[in-house]
Copies of this chain bind each other. A is one copy, B any other.
Amino acid sequence: MKKKLLAVGLFFAGAGVALFAQEAYGIEEALSMIWLFVGAILVFIMQAGFALVETGLTRAKNATNIVMKNLMDFCFGAIVYWAVGWGFMYGSVGDAPGKFIGLSEFFKGPMDDPSFHRDWFFQVVFAATAATIVSGAMAERVQFRCYLVYTCFISALIYPISGHWIWGGGWLSDLGFHDFAGSTVVHSVGGWAALVGALVLGPRIGKYVKTPDGKISVKAFPGHNMPLAMLGVLLLWFGWYGFNGASTLDGMSPDIARVCVTTTLAAAAGTIGALFTSWILFKKPDASMSMNGALAGLVSITAPCAVVSPAASIIIGLIGGILVVLAVEFIDKVLKIDDPVGASSVHLVCGVWGTVAVGIWGNVEGSAIGLLHGGGFSQLGVQLVGILAVGAWTFCTSFILFSIIKATMGLRVDPKEERMGLDISEHKAEAYTGFQIFSNM
């Protein structure tokens, strides 16, 4: 009798456990779904952040054109990333992920594949971030239709292929390259393409002018809307919590908390670094440099955010903030490449710096990889290999892409249109109808 009771009790206990085994599994999946949803939409709103920063830091006569480019790179990017980009990045070759490229999962159609849908949604916003970085560097002079062509290629091909090497199971991933949320995968790819785009396109009219004594005078074109630019920076910072935080990919990960702290402190330190650097160099606390300093801190901490301490994140961000001011000056005054919003300084220079920082301060649980934690030079070496490989890939492919567009479509608007402003010449509408605006060339 007692045995029977025991057996019955046990049956229910066992059934209960089985039931909760399944339910608990479902809950974890649901939690990660919500976590990636929150992360993805935060990264999505970074599109607004980029649009506002770029608009605010350029001239009023090109404002409509800039926000149109920013809207369109997301829209075209989403479609092509669904069609082929995802397949190149996360597809496989045969049964294994390819070393250099994925070749499956194109035009993914089935309705009932929640984990594909969840992962695609989280990844498409990263692809769009890489693509949109470039628009700032090419602002105020690129043809709208050429920009549409460019953006399809970066989202369909350039970004996914180097992304495959690192996040898709390719050769850099095999080497142990560490880039938690994309200092290299996303930001330096966008930054390289931005630099090449600005280079192939050439400077805006009046930017570098030969003076009678043979020297070249460098003119600054101040932005037309600082509050909008600042709102853009804060929206980017806000979205970056999703960018870095949700890159745990797992809603159950306690690393989320650390990532939030390091992201916050690095961004704060980057802002302060750029503030004081600009204050010393230019004798004023410069607004656009400070804003770029915040972004510099964020880009710098993107690779190492999960594997460094709060104190290290302050140092990494601070150096990023100092670097960005020096890089803006160097690219503008020495290289004489006209990048109107400093996109290559923020995303390329600090993207590289953040990737290097992993090799210096990295301290993964259970195994120290950073130089300062006794990890030696091996991780640092791997980081440099990744930086160089992704740089070479992106530099070459985007150089070829922009050169072909230039040769076939022209790439740049004609000088008359550029002087008139792209809002009128490209879209036949002013951004600020009714406002008295000086033509400030």
Contact = CB atoms under 8 A, between A and B. Distances in A.
Interface string A256-270: 111011001101110
A213 interface: no
A121 B264 contact: yes
Given A40-B260, A64-B287, A429-B287, A27 B252 contact: yes
Chain A interface residue number, banded: 35 or more
A71 interface: yes
Given A9-B10, A79-B314, A426-B285, A431 B225 contact: yes
Interface string A2-14: 1100110110111
Contacts of A41: 42, 238, 241-242
Contacts of A241: 37, 41, 44
Interface stretch (A17-25, A322-330, A389-397, A401-409): A17-25
Contacts of A45: 234-235, 238
A363 interface: yes
A231 B275 CA distance: 27
A194 interface: no
Contacts of A110: 309
B33 A30 contact: no
Given A35-B34, A114-B258, A231 B48 contact: yes
Contacts of A117: 257-258, 260-261, 310
Interface in A234-260: 234-235, 237-238, 241-242, 245, 251-258, 260
Nearest to A23: B24
17 contacts: A20-B24, A27-B31, A38-B38, A48-B231, A61-B434, A67-B230, A68-B230, A68-B290, A71-B230, A75-B271, A108-B310, A224-B432, A225-B431, A285-B426, A287-B427, A287-B429, A434-B437
